[in-house]
Amino acid sequence: MTETREPLLNVPPVVATLIGLFVAVHAVTTYGLSFVQYDLFLKMFAFVPARYDQNLILAAWPGGVAADLWTFVSYAFIHADWIHLTVNSVWLLAFGTPLERRFGGIRFAGFFVVTAVAGALAHLVTHPGEMVPMVGASASISGAMAGAIRFAFQRGGPIFVRDEDPQRYRVPALSLAAALREPRVLVFLAVWFGINLVFGLGSSQMLGVEGSIAWQAHVGGFLAGLLFFGWFDPVRRDAASSAWTGT
């Protein structure tokens, strides 16, 4: 019997495509646009809460009604600088990879969109009328983190067994209520929310990213990933309660 080995870096297609798009968008906007053009680009594709405030009338928001919709997602493909892009790409590799291996490409892409929208909504609610554009994929990456913890802590899952068996990513997930009683999940939640609170209220210069950190968008994406995981999960959950053995 011949043993096959996977490449050391085997990035799922949609994760690789997303990172490629991040890099392409940032390269074009950084090296191919003037200051005026970049300002117009942000108004058209970044998420700007003021766009949705009827009390703040701008002569003409570029993109019109269509941009009112697409900016709930398009902002996730724009990054403030190369450090911001690199940090997000690393985290997407870490948490998007197991999630795409479980969901498949189409479901993972839908999950990315839903969590991006949730992050934008959370930012809109907490920053009404703000003119500062929000950019970055952190809300969707936070959603991927939340989705991953719904199954990654299972015994036999990808955290506990280091091999390339695809079944490691398809262990049954517990219901949300049961997952929230699992100590390892609770520890992860406490650490995640604590870190976001510290970085959100502290200086964003710790990450080398100009401007403030939209931590509320992170929370919105994370909660969406936690709550809506079941919408996208193709693995049957009827055996999940008996499959959880823990360690």
User: The tokens of 100 are what?
Assistant: 């795409």
| Whether 225 contacts 219, CB under 8 Å | no
DSSP string, 6-31: --SS---HHHHHHHHHHHHHHHHHHH
C-alpha distances out from residue 226 to 11, 98, 140, 150, 233, Å: 23, 15, 12, 7, 12
Determine the pLDDT at residue 56.
63
- What is the predicted pLDDT for the residue at 197? 78
Q: What is the pLDDT of residue 129?
A: 86
Question: In the numeric block, which tokens belong to residue 65?
Answer: 């009604």
The per-residue pLDDT for 165 is 60
Q: What is the pLDDT of residue 2?
A: 40
Cross-strand pairs, 134:
47
Amino acid 152: pLDDT:
79
Contact 43, 137 (CB under 8 A): no
pLDDT attached to residue 166? 64
**Listed residue (189, 66, 196, 173) closest to 122, CA to CA:** 196
Residue with tokens 């948490």: 95
pLDDT of 23 reads: 97
Domains, the chain, in order of start with CATH, read: 13-237 (1.20.1540.10)
The pLDDT value recorded for residue 64 is: 85
**Residue that has been written with the tokens 């219901």 in this structure:** 175
Q: What is the pLDDT along the chain (247 residues), one digit of tens a residue?
A: 344 444 445 889 999 999 999 999 999 999 999 999 999 999 999 999 999 877 765 557 888 889 999 999 999 999 999 999 999 999 999 999 989 999 999 999 999 999 999 999 999 999 988 889 999 999 999 999 999 888 877 765 565 455 566 666 777 887 788 888 888 888 989 998 888 877 766 544 333 344 567 889 999 999 999 999 999 999 875 444 434 333 2
